[in-house]
């Protein structure tokens, strides 16, 4: 699905006061608002435009148990949602359910904006995807429910691969690099066998985690950056090899317009969100006229010999701590994200929030690649100061220094670790 997940950074200062307004359990405990007569649900326009029938089904299920209940829905676009949310969270008139991008959750959890939830009340919680489960968990408590997921896959041009005798997608990293070497040699240095934006930290950290490294690790309640560990350095060096060998575009760019660049026809492969290949071949973006029906997704193999662990994006649903209908809000969330809801979301092309349903998608050729890729995933450190790390673009700065050759991998990683350590434990 085409959408940009926005990191939860720069939450309005007024939200800081929220933690003192509800206390543990949101001032009313798990049964708060069980007899409420009205429920307000905020979702993004994705639900409004693509699966309104699933929203209606959840409404009907909850209203059946609570006759006379009024359910209000408001829909927001991703760019302006958080500004509106921040504004209302400073008042006493808050929504009861709010959709969050999973990278947005942490800052709000740290500030005490959301009420704790009991995972046992939600269908399939024992099988939530690891990356999504991490996104709703802070300090040992659960503050949200995974809604759906979106993963990353490799995508390449079948015609370019075939031109060097490669007829099937690679299964191993050795097969991949062998094919890319042939493509690069044939196409020349004005062509990117693999268009890999240097500042794309989602891809770079996949190499780090594949090598057994991590952005940061926790010990005794404190987080410490670990990009200078031997494992992390191994992953970063392989990422640099990719950029050096196959990326012949601007090495100061990020991934925001990757699908547009891919559509220009001067590259053979990307490692990206699953929707990007399809978007590149849209006639509006396919400036070469050669991509339509000629692109192929495949599971990205990792240098470790296993599938590359991918950053797992997606959405979560949370209950603001000031809600007067927390119990009903939890019921609605369960009705919406439960078994029937997940089947409906999968039918719309989304990945489910749990491993059980994900396994069923592996049997369908249309969904096998993203489902298989999503099985191995990672998520950002759930540290109180992570939002400050993202806001300062520490990882992007490190990667640009590495990709452009301004600094050695070791020097750039050490500098990044020092910058991360200054803020990662700060609320």
- Concatenate the DSSP letters of all residues of 234-284 into one string: HHHHHHHHHHHHH--S-TT--STTHHHHHTTT-BSEEEEETHHHHHHTSTT
pLDDT 10s digits, 270-304: 999 988 999 999 999 999 999 999 999 999 999 99
| Model confidence band, residue 397 (pLDDT cutoffs 50, 70, 90) | very high
Q: pLDDT-based confidence at 422, cuts 50/70/90?
A: very high
Q: How far apart are CA 128 and CA 354, in angstroms?
A: 4
Contacts of residue 361, defined as CB under 8 A and 6 or more positions apart, other chains included, come to: 346, 351, 352, 367, 368, 370, 371
pLDDT, average across residues 67-84? 94
| Residue 233 pLDDT > 50 | yes
Question: pLDDT, tens digit, for every residue of 98-140?
Answer: 999 998 999 999 999 999 999 999 999 999 999 999 999 999 9
Question: What mean pLDDT comes out for the span 226-237?
Answer: 98
Q: How far apart are CA 24 and CA 195, in angstroms?
A: 48
Residue carrying the six token digits 């005490």:
112
Residue 99 confidence (pLDDT): 98
Helices (H) and strands (E) counted in the chain, each on its own, are 18, 14
pTM of model > 0.85: yes
* Tokens representing residue 114 in the block: 């959301």
pLDDT for residue 142: 98
DSSP string for residues in 389-401: HHHTTHHHHHHHH
Across residues 295-324, what is the average pLDDT? 97
Residue 396 confidence class, pLDDT cut points 50, 70, 90: very high
pLDDT at 366: 86
Task: Give the pLDDT score at 75.
Answer: 97
Q: Reply yes or no on whether the pLDDT at 19 is more than 70.
A: no
What is the predicted pLDDT for the residue at 30?
A: 53
Percent of the chain with pLDDT over 70: 92
Arithmetic mean of pLDDT over the chain:
92
Checking if the pLDDT of 14 tops 60, the result is no
pLDDT at 34: 74
User: What contacts 272, CB < 8 A, 6 or more positions away?
Assistant: 152, 153, 155, 203, 255, 258, 259
SS3 content of the chain, % helix, strand, coil (to 5): 45, 15, 40
The 10s digit of each residue's pLDDT in 132-182 is 999 999 999 999 999 999 889 999 999 999 999 999 999 999 999 999 999
Mean pLDDT for 1-17 is 37
Per-residue pLDDT at 388? 94
- pLDDT at residue 16 greater than cutoff 70: no
Helix (H, G, I), strand (E, B) or coil at 140: coil
How far out from the chain centre does Cα 425 lie? 22
């Amino acid at each position: 699905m085409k959408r940009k997940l926005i990191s939860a950074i720069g939450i309005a200062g007024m939200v800081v006061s929220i933690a003192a307004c509800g206390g543990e359990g949101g001032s009313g405990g798990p049964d708060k608002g069980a007899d409420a007569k009205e429920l307000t649900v905020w979702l993004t326009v994705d639900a409004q435009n693509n699966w309104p029938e699933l929203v209606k089904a959840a409404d009907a299920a909850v209203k059946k148990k609570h006759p006379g209940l009024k359910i209000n829905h408001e829909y927001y676009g991703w760019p302006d949602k958080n500004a509106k949310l921040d504004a209302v969270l400073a008042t006493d008139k808050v929504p009861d359910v709010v959709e969050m991008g999973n990278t947005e959750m942490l800052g709000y959890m740290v500030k005490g904006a959301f009420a704790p939830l009991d995972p046992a009340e939600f269908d399939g919680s024992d099988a939530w995807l690891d990356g999504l489960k991490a996104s709703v968990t802070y300090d040992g408590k659960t503050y949200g429910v995974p809604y759906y997921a979106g993963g990353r896959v490799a995508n390449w041009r079948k015609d370019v691969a075939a031109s060097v005798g490669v007829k099937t997608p690679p299964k191993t990293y050795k097969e991949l690099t062998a094919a890319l070497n042939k493509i690069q040699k044939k196409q020349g240095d004005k062509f990117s066998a693999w268009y890999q934006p240097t500042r794309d930290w989602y891809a770079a950290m996949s190499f780090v985690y594949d090598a057994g490294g991590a952005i940061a690790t926790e010990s005794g309640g404190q987080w410490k950056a670990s990009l200078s560990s031997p494992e992390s350095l191994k992953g970063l060096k392989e990422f640099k090899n990719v950029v050096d060998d196959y990326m012949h575009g601007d090495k100061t760019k990020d991934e925001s317009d990757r699908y547009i660049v891919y559509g220009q026809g001067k590259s053979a492969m990307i490692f990206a969100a699953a929707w990007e290949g399809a978007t590149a071949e849209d006639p509006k973006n396919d400036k070469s006229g050669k991509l339509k029906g000629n692109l192929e997704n495949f599971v990205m193999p990792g240098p470790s010999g296993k599938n590359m662990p991918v950053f797992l994006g997606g959405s979560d649903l949370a209950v603001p701590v000031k809600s007067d209908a927390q119990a009903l809000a939890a019921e609605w969330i369960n009705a919406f994200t439960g078994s029937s809801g997940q089947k409906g979301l999968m039918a719309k092309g989304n990945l489910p929030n749990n491993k059980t349903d994900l396994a069923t998608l592996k049997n369908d050729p249309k969904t096998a690649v993203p489902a298989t890729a999503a099985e191995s995933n990672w998520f950002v450190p759930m540290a109180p100061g992570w939002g400050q790390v993202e806001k300062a673009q520490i990882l992007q700065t490190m990667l640009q220094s590495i990709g452009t050759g301004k600094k050695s991998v070791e020097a750039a990683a050490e500098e990044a670790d020092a910058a991360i350590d200054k803020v990662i434990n700060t609320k």
